[in-house]
Structure 1
Amino acid sequence: RYFVLHAPRQTGKTTTLLAMMEAINVRGRYACAYANIEAAQAARGNEEKGIPAVCDALVNSIQLYLKDDHLSRWYDDRRKDISPQNLLTQVLQHWAQHAGCPTVLFLDEVDALVGDTLISLLRQIRAGYPQRPDAFPQSIVLCGVRDVRDYRLHQEGAQVITGGSAFNIKAESLRMGNFTEAECQTLWQQHTDETGQVLDPAIFQELWEDTHGQPWLVNALGYELTWRFKPARDRARPLSLEDYRSAREALIQSRATHLD
């Protein structure tokens, strides 16, 4: 199946995809690659530049993670002979045909792309879907901050194209969940385990009430309390509930972008 994975920034999407890739490749049934295609954002709606930038990142990642030089050599020889409107499809087709096992692709920061670059990427993926698994990836995950229905598919001087019409083969849109209450406490306990610095148990109830496990908030509050709060750098100093509340207020006053 093909999926969309979305969640706010710094909530563990990339970390999760990299861990999934490693786990899949260790088992040996599939060849899995992760590629961050954010660099293609600079091309904006120019697919003549944007799609080759996407393919550059993809081929480089396959070579890096799977040690597959065959695709890189083919790409260097053929890329100038293939139009951008078909280049991504050809790259994925060639990879799938020569990988030796079904392929799985994780594309990160997809929603950084806009306009014709994004439309072309989605349509080329859709065009190759019937060829799977022998000549196209068995599964693809598109990862970003937004769901596909919220992708910015604006064409200059033309009608807006909705995400669903350009990519209607996804099985499901998955939103990464938050930490559980127990996971929040386990994460913060790692600080005590590594430094010996004691945390007042009363902190954890307020931590949960404040964050409900939202990963960026949980980590940002931890950083504020254990590092930006300078007295806490003395690891022999226990951290109290009042220390935590001060850290929380400092984070609020910082007006950090991610709080939006």
Structure 2
Amino acid sequence: MITNYYLKMEPRTTKNKWTISNIKDGFERFFRDYSRYPTATEIDGCDYLPSSRQIQRRFGGLPRLRETLKLKGVHDFTKGEYSSNRAKKINKRSYELETQIYRYLLDRFGKPFVHREYLFNDDRRTRTDFFVFCSNGNFSVDVFYPSDKKNMTGCINSKLKTYSSNHTLQYPVIFLMMNDEIQESEIEAMIKKKTKPLKDYQKIMTMNQFKKFCEGRKNSDKSSNPTNVAQVI
């Protein structure tokens, strides 16, 4: 994750001035700062390199540009060992985060009322990470870790499509955003910019917001049937 990158931004060079020479200089500058070459997302946040869209139009994509510049290392980050290692890292992080949330929910609500990998129907595809039964309103939780603000927008757009069926619309859903470097104000700004707003019962929360939300939920009576609990948020 780049943390100090935007502190050194300069006006982006105009489109007509991009040359192989100054593009390579930009890549080498990034390498000096971060000991690796940038990904497409990082290029779009870098004012001394052309945008990824410009690179696609002019060079046929970032992998081809890396080959043209004769950069060392991996040319295509979407294939091979780099992609495999990245997938393993993401899967490991997902498991650890979901385990963290599961333990929190168990401690807060009790095992009978917290369902992991909850299936909304019998097709075994429509599911949510967690479903919690409460006396003052059931809710589901979808945990995700965006790498940055742009990635967060893409994640939410994808999740809104997933949670659009009649089965998933029966219950409120919390999209639990687990990247601590993304602030609540940035989430609010992203929501305001969306052309298709979230529904009233769809909320994006940080972990701190989620804990406050859970504090307002009432534990179900242990003698009650979880399936009979009201669905309110």
The two structures have a TM-score, normalised by structure 1, of 0.28
**Greater share of residues in helix:** 1
Higher-RCO chain (CA-CA 8 Å, sequence separation at least 6): 1
The two structures have a TM-score, normalised by structure 2, of 0.30
